[in-house]
């Protein structure tokens, strides 16, 4: 059986899915130290988190955060105030991309492709990324609209498994 542990990077900010930024715990450090293979999103915080965890992680562009286009670097409260209709459309429709970047559906597809490539791998795999909701949606075969109903905290870990077939969600949190 193959186990993939997804560790959410230590990012912070006012994103609605991220609570306060807790320090690394023993569990996260121990998880990383037992990896047969490791990857990191190319996003700076993921690379830094992988380094702090002691992972010799390969960069995986498919694990990068969503391209938020014109909204990149802006606060959710700003977008809510300045573009309420666009934000509402983006929240309601996973295929929408009013910011000019990627849609939620596109992110799920990108992450699904990366996960499918890992089906040939064996052992304990670790990846540091923030696109964990997309991985969960794909593993469960859930509707992309379910993405907004999943919270992923900084430094939390999500475990997916497979035995040569499809991915399954073992644990989250």
Distances (CA, A) of 116 to 32, 35, 152, 166: 22, 19, 22, 8
User: Which is nearest to 74 in space by CA: 44, 99, 106?
Assistant: 99
Q: How far, in Å, CA of 150 to CA of 173, rounded?
A: 10
Contacts of 51 (CB under 8 A, 6+ apart): none
Tokens of 53: 């965890």
Q: For the domain covering 2-66+102-172, report its CATH number.
A: 3.40.50.1240
pLDDT tens-digit readout, 111-138: 999 999 999 899 999 999 999 999 999 9
pLDDT tens-digit readout, 47-79: 999 999 999 999 999 999 999 999 988 889 999
In the chain, where the domains are located: 2-66+102-172
- Its pTM stands at 0.85
Contact assessment for residue 98 and residue 80, using Cβ atoms and an 8 Å cutoff: no
pLDDT tens-digit readout, 20-38: 334 455 655 555 557 899 9
């Amino acid at each position: 059986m193959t186990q993939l542990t997804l560790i959410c990077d230590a990012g912070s900010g006012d994103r609605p899915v991220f609570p306060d930024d807790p320090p690394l715990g023993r569990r996260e450090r121990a998880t990383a130290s037992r990896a047969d293979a490791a990857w990191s999103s190319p996003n700076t915080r993921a690379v830094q988190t992988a380094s702090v965890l002691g992972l010799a992680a390969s960069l995986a562009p498919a694990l990068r955060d969503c391209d938020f286009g014109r909204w990149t670097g802006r606060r959710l409260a700003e977008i809510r105030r300045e573009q309420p209709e666009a934000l509402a459309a983006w929240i309601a429709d996973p295929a929408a991309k009013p910011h000019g970047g990627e849609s939620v559906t596109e992110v799920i597809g990108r992450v699904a492709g990366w996960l499918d490539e890992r089906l040939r791998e064996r052992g304990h795999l670790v990846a540091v990324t923030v696109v964990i909701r997309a991985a969960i949606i794909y593993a469960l075969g859930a509707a992309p609209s379910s993405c907004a109903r999943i919270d992923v905290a900084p430094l939390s870990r999500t475990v997916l498994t497979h035995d040569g077939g499809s991915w399954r969600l073992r644990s989250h949190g």
